[in-house]
Amino acid sequence: MQAVQRDIAEQLNVQPPFADHAALEAEIARRIAFIQSCLTNAGLKTLVLGISGGVDSLTAGLLAQRAVEQLREQTGDLNYRFIAVRLPYETQFDEHDAQAAVDFIAPDERHTVNIGPAVKALAKEVSAFEGKHAVSVDFVLGNTKARMRMVAQYTIAGAAQGLVIGTDHAAEAVMGFFTKFGDGACDLAPLSGLVKNQVRAIARQFGAPESLVEKIPTADLEDLSPGKPDEASHGVTYSEIDAFLHGQPVREEAFKIICDTYRKTHHKRVMPFAP
């Protein structure tokens, strides 16, 4: 079992547990430097990120804001900026958390794009939905919401001449828990290789409210299951996923679920297949 866990962890470039506070601080600095290098190498000065209210986008946003603040200090160029984007589908049930996250990040700019009208307009034009069960349609439209959010972020990034940040990390990557060409699409993924408890640790190090750090993770894409916890979709807990990725013992059933899901979602972690 450990050999399988080690192989998967290596493929996802999983980072080891933080040995101490100094290791945590060093990792934060390394990831801020990574964000800065992505901007400077691209010759751009703006970062764009959708803030959902969950700890992943909160953490990525905190890293992004710190990155541009340091660049402004180091270069004297005040044009470096971070744009935090709210992307609700009509009225988000946990909007107060999303606003609290944006407030804590204190981004240079705040934008809001309601994706509801665009998703509904598209759905009306899709004849393939005719005769389909409501649950199936709801699931497909959930992925459409994620893709529409990324369209909005790239539209803003295009107008602002910036890069789009993604929030995928190892605990989601191993489960393929992202929408292909939706939240899985981005220019840089500063949380890559981290497990969930490491993402939380970074947010906590920034002083983020515990209510946001420990908030139950949800993609919140399905109208028929609003606020559905990620773990309900996974069939395993994030604690088990983290343990698996760090080579620690897990239940036999959890091991099987994670391995099976990893294999089934391989296509989501690679470039499009080509002959």
Other C-beta atoms within 10 Å of 231: how many? 16
Q: Tell me, what's the pLDDT at 93?
A: 83
pLDDT of residue 269 exceeding 90: yes
Q: Tell me, what's the pLDDT at 1?
A: 83
CB 244 within 8 A of CB 255: yes
- pTM (two decimals): 0.96
Q: Tell me, what's the pLDDT at 226?
A: 87
Q: Tell me, what's the pLDDT at 203?
A: 98
| Mean pLDDT (whole number) for 9-31 | 98
| Mean pLDDT (whole number) for 77-90 | 97
Q: What is the pLDDT of residues 196-237, one digit of tens each?
A: 999 999 999 999 999 999 999 998 899 998 889 999 999 999
> What string of DSSP letters covers 147-213?
HHHHHHHHHHHHHHTEEEB----HHHHTTT-S-TTTTT--SB-TTTT--HHHHHHHHHHTT--HHHH
Q: Tell me, what's the pLDDT at 61?
A: 98
The Cα–Cα gap between 172 and 168 comes to: 6
Q: Tell me, what's the pLDDT at 263?
A: 98
Catalytic site positions: 56, 172
pLDDT of residue 56 exceeding 90: yes
Sheet with 81-86, edge to edge strand ranges:
109-112, 81-86, 46-50, 162-164
| CATH of region 2-269, choose from 3.40.309.10, 3.10.50.40, 3.40.50.1400, 3.40.50.620 | 3.40.50.620
CB 237 within 8 A of CB 54: no
Q: What is the pLDDT of residues 143-158, one digit of tens each?
A: 999 999 999 999 999 9
Q: Tell me, what's the pLDDT at 145?
A: 97
